[in-house]
Amino acid sequence: MSKKIVTVQDISCYGQCSITVALPVLSAFGVETAILPSAILSTHTGGFTGFTVHDLTEEMPGIVNHWIREGIKFDAIYTGYIGDTRQFDIINDARKTLLNDRGLLIVDPAMADWGKLYSALDETIVEGMKKIVRTADVILPNLTEAAFLTGRDYIERPNKEQVREIIADLSAMGPDTVILTGVSYEENKIGAAAYCRSTDTYHEYFTERVPKNYHGTGDVFSSVAVADIVNGKSIDESLKDACEFTVKCIKNTLGDPNHDYGVKFESVIAEKK
């Protein structure tokens, strides 16, 4: 029986990120995916100016309540970009009412990169994100998000000891599994490190570093990892699949100088068939 999840994040009408990445990638990895949109943006907030934002906080409880009345349940709730602090309580309430037994709350605290919060967010989002991280089963922060969540100083390339300290601080907040992305100990390698408290195991996986940054790669990585986790794959398998799929998407985009707002994941998905 296929797994069923709901992803809670924004719809960026142009620019490959958030729901417009999560929905096709999760589906390609065999996970039935419903959406609970947090906002509609004309574009994503990276590299664009003057974008429009329509907040959907007022609509979210009605959607959740309808699902409750219909008896709809999910194997996981997967959260991404959240732009309104009121939505954190909605998510925590949905965790209690929408998840199956042993269902997972998986949080990608998509709020920052390269040492800074995204342009449309402020410190109130950080405090709200801490709230759902404490109740999450799995979290997937990048190094910047980890710094905001733990109160640590941001380090662009922490060493192995520092990475383990960061992960330990994140694990102490409550989640059973912490997957830290953007980890790099060598100039030409990049990947992720993870710790599972329930098994007391540490995991790492690294791939070739491609010298080009694109928006939305975190959403690609998280969506693959979430699909694997929900489908019962090990953390080692999940890290490998997510790292390698993301690098393929980046390489697939390098030849198009006009495509710098996201990565071309579509044809990489097609290769899976």
Q: What is the pLDDT along the chain (273 residues), one digit of tens a residue?
A: 789 999 999 999 999 999 999 999 999 999 999 999 999 999 988 778 888 999 999 999 999 999 999 999 999 999 999 989 999 999 999 999 999 999 999 999 999 999 999 887 899 999 999 999 999 999 999 999 999 999 999 999 999 999 999 999 999 999 999 999 999 999 999 999 999 999 999 999 999 999 888 889 999 999 999 999 999 999 999 999 999 999 999 999 998 888 988 999 999 998 875
CATH number of the domain enclosing 176: 3.40.1190.20
Residue 96 lies in a domain: yes
Sign of torsion over alpha carbons 42, 93, 197, 240:
negative
Total Cβ atoms within 10 A of residue 208? 13
Residue 37 lies in a domain: yes
pLDDT at 157: 95
39 DSSP β-pair partners: 55
Measured distance CA(140)–CA(180) in Å, rounded: 6
181 DSSP β-pair partners: 142, 192
pLDDT at 273: 59
Residue 128 lies in a domain: yes
pTM given for the model: 0.96
Residue 273 lies in a domain: no
Domain count, the chain: 1
pLDDT at 81: 93
Residue 272 lies in a domain: no
Residue 73 lies in a domain: yes
Among the listed residues 180, 179, 244, 157, the one whose alpha carbon sits nearest the alpha carbon of residue 206? 244
Range(s) of the domain holding residue 96: 4-267
Sole residue written with tokens 């296929």: 2
pLDDT at 213: 87
Question: Which stretches within the chain are classed as H helix?
Answer: 19-28, 60-69, 86-98, 123-135, 143-150, 160-172, 217-230, 235-253, 266-271
